[in-house]
Amino acid sequence: MTACRIPRRAPAHARVAGAALLVSSFVAPVPLAAEPPATAGPPAAPAAASAPVPATSADALAWLAGAWIERRDGAVIEEQWMAPRGGVMLGMSRSTGPDGKVFFEFMRIAPSAAGLSYFALPLGREAAEFPLVALAGRRAVFENAAHDFPQRITYWLEEGGVLRARIEGAVDGTLQSAEYRWSRAGG
């Protein structure tokens, strides 16, 4: 999932995700409803309401590891996470639109001054940091209220092994979000 907003003159790519999560010319952000639809998965809790997060090692997110793929409207969205080692997880994503345009991002989940953070490097740019604000079972929420878009990245693993992700935040004063639903690649 893209964690940095691309200038308007370029295709509008934004991916989470490990988020990975992608908002691009082929998967556009949508206005954020007051309440997510029932199929949207667990809503993200605001950071202020979250209990302290004790995780300081990516080992707590081992459930994210693997190769994941989603095919949607002619686009292919792939995300891959290496299993934690030394308390760090490394990830990458690639999205290919129906027109053949490619977007990529490198990610890592690692210890930080905030405890544990998700670092996103869309298109190989400088990292944007999203500290972990909530972790419960197989659901993790990362937030950076000062970031342009997204400000929140949420991952969760559903029963049956489907990896879900949601990015959300304000774009020009309007709340927007995008969701992803990956299956294991090769499965």
- Phi, psi at residue 48, to the nearest 5°? -65, -30
- Phi, psi at residue 85, to the nearest 5°? -150, 130
Residues 94-125 pLDDT 10s: 999 999 999 999 999 999 999 999 999 999 89
> How many angstroms separate the CA atoms of 116 and 49, rounded?
18
- This prediction has a pTM of 0.75
Residues 131-152 pLDDT 10s: 999 999 999 999 999 999 999 9
Task: Judge whether residue 88 has pLDDT over 60.
Answer: yes
